[in-house]
Amino acid sequence: MGVEKEIIVALEFGTSAIRGIAGKKKPDGTIQILAIEQERANDAIQRGVIYNIDKTTLAITSIVQRINERLNAKVSRAYVGVSGQSLHSASNFISRGLEMKVKITPELVDNLMDNNRATEYTDSQILDVVPQEYIVGNRPIADPVGIQSDQIEARFINVIAKNALLENIHKCMRMAGIEIADLFISPMTLADALLSDSEKRSGCAMIDFGAGTTSVTVYNGNILRHLVVIPLGGNNITNDIATSQQMEFEEAETLKRKYGIAYVAAESDNPQMLPISNDRTLSENDLQYIIGARQEEIIMNVWNQIKNVSDRLLSGIVITGGAAQLQDIPEAIKHFTQFQKVKMAKSLITTAEVAPGVIAPQGISIDTLIAMLAKGNTNCVEEIDGQPIIDGSEETLSEVDENGELAAENEQTSPEESIVNKKPKKPLLDRFVNLMQDMFVEKDDEQESK
């Protein structure tokens, strides 16, 4: 299968849902999105961390099965995005004294990197290492190879996460029968797809407002300087509304999306009375107060992570994420932090097009999923009994809009047309049971062959 025919599959484990995407890269670099599926995950994942293995496995199985049906293929592997509240960066320094002045070699630099990777963290492991600089003769330098010195210090940023976070991901994927093609660090992958080289070079902080977490990545000199995932997100705001007004989470979420504002300068003298459940009403002022209080907490937690380097953020703060769709988020950040260089993220650097009939859930951003497609380079699907894979080559595609959501053309497909164009699906539990049975049958066959 040639490069242009390779189909890449990626999975993202979010607090509100587990999402899967399949697509391929065209020769011109455009991404064709061939399938997007999701399963609710409120009772399986919290703040990006899997805590219910069985329900998460069931959701993965369902998503993959629907992608299989869409492509007329079998997904055998997938790229997985890693986030979660334990994901963060940590600075580390490795020094080496030499017996005499010698020329620093690539082997010495590699040895410093190996020593850094051997650093142990309690109940955690290193996912990635970003070299910062080397101190040679009291001078910071990016590349020390060829310089003579009797002392060198290497400075690194280690991106680490709890062992349990990774173990549960591997366990669920193994139980679902899907190989992990690679693990991508979601905030860094998204930053690579959203931020320009100029923004990274001059300094910027990207804030990804999610449902259960808020990720902060800081760049300067075209290098990652800091990464942290804060265990607060849009769901906290929704929960505050639901708890204070004694309503269901879904109703509170709808209320937030329809009327919510991140920051209001002054209360209205004649507030609108909003209808809520049980023939009650809620003052618009009261709703904005609830939202504003929690939004301020989230923003100030973010600001505590970046305020010490704010003078180096010449490109300012870049905002993205599903929870960033709340009205007036930039104004809220400017007000609470007094930092004025705040902007919404532009469209992805990579252009994405969507095949007809592919409809993403409304109100979410698929930017991270598309970023993983762009970074992936391994074919993830296999043909079924020699049948051609449906890859969208002959379909007319529509573009993803600047908010990372599918263009309006796809929304014109009626529910009836979607049902006609899709194969009938077995109930979710039946599909999971059948999968488990197939796995046991395969094991029995292997034992008999032995």
Cβ-count burial of 153 within 10 angstroms (0-12 exposed, 13-18 middle, 19+ buried)?
middle
- What three-state secondary structure class fits 160? strand
CB 430 within 8 A of CB 63: no
Q: Which residue has the tokens 């990197």?
A: 113
Q: Which of 34, 32, 131, 128 is nearest to 82 (CA)?
A: 128
Q: Which of 309, 346, 337, 335 is nearest to 223 (CA)?
A: 309
Q: What's the pLDDT at 399?
A: 53
Ordered by start, the domain boundaries in the chain are: 3-85+165-187+349-438, 88-161, 197-347
Q: Are strands 381-383 and 352-354 parallel, antiparallel or unpaired?
A: unpaired
How far apart CA 58 and CA 178 sit, in angstroms, is: 12
The CATH-assigned architecture of domain 88-161 is 2-Layer Sandwich (3.30)
How far apart CA 175 and CA 19 sit, in angstroms, is: 17
Q: Are strands 77-82 and 7-13 parallel, antiparallel or unpaired?
A: parallel
CB 405 within 8 A of CB 368: no
Q: Which of 207, 225, 204 is nearest to 215 (CA)?
A: 207
How far apart CA 345 and CA 341 sit, in angstroms, is: 12
Q: What's the pLDDT at 401?
A: 56
- Going by C-beta distance under 8 Å and a sequence separation of 6 or more, which residues neighbour residue 387? 72
Q: What's the pLDDT at 405?
A: 56
Within 10 A of 186 (CB to CB), how many other CB atoms are there?
Answer: 27
The CATH-assigned architecture of domain 197-347 is 2-Layer Sandwich (3.30)
Q: What's the pLDDT at 415?
A: 32
Per-residue pLDDT of the chain in tens (450 residues, 90 and over written 9): 343 468 999 999 987 789 999 999 988 888 999 999 999 887 888 877 898 999 999 999 999 999 999 999 999 999 999 998 899 999 999 999 988 889 999 999 999 999 999 999 999 999 999 999 999 988 899 999 999 999 999 999 999 999 999 999 999 999 999 999 999 999 999 999 999 999 999 999 999 999 999 999 999 999 999 999 999 999 999 999 999 999 999 999 999 999 999 999 999 999 999 999 999 999 999 999 999 999 999 999 999 999 999 999 999 999 999 899 999 999 999 999 999 999 999 888 888 888 888 876 666 678 999 999 999 999 999 987 666 567 665 444 455 555 555 544 444 333 333 322 333 344 444 544 454 455 444 445 554 444
For residue 248, which phi and psi values (nearest 5 degrees)? -70, 155
What are 301's two structure tokens?
């937690």
List of E strands, 115-237: 124-136, 139-141, 148-162, 179-185, 204-209, 214-220, 223-230
Q: What's the pLDDT at 406?
A: 52
Q: What's the sign of the alpha-carbon dihedral 167, 169, 174, 176? A: positive
Question: What CATH class is the domain 3-85+165-187+349-438?
Answer: alpha beta
In CATH terms, are 3-85+165-187+349-438 and 88-161 the same topology? no
- What three-state secondary structure class fits 29? coil
